[in-house]
Structure 1
């Protein structure tokens, strides 16, 4: 996962620049905090006209389970035609790993 600033600090006309990492660990120290994974205090905006020091893909986000399933049944309808019944479900587990 790549953390982005959301601002054009490098003055390039885009907002997809990375911040400076100012703490050794970007993660929230207390894993019991609900909806908290990254520590906002671990990042700072780079100086105007410069790029941040954080690399791309340096942060690992929470794991997730994604389970998609489908059932298909095809019935012949004469010699040349078929009827297909299909049922699909996406993200059945809808669950994030702890």
Structure 2
């Protein structure tokens, strides 16, 4: 092998090795970020979840004159919360 062939092989190996290293580094960083995000999501919006659950429970157990309106309001709030969660996951 000539010096030029050896140099060419070293450069080609270095190129593909660096691409593989950057790919695996990106995967590792993404996994770490996802773990951190998942862990902190437990503590983020706990009050909103409780109030939504409370609102739906009260609407289901409501026995007044306008039960349909109360249920519609609770369903609308649930739909808005689902839409907000979908937007946050994009």
The two structures share one fold, judged by TM-score above 0.5: no
Q: TM-score, normalised by structure 2?
A: 0.23
Q: Which has the higher contact order (CA 8 A, sep 6+)?
A: 1
Which structure: larger Rg?
2
Q: TM-score, normalised by structure 1?
A: 0.22
Report which of the two has the higher share of strand: 1
Report which of the two has the higher share of helix: 2
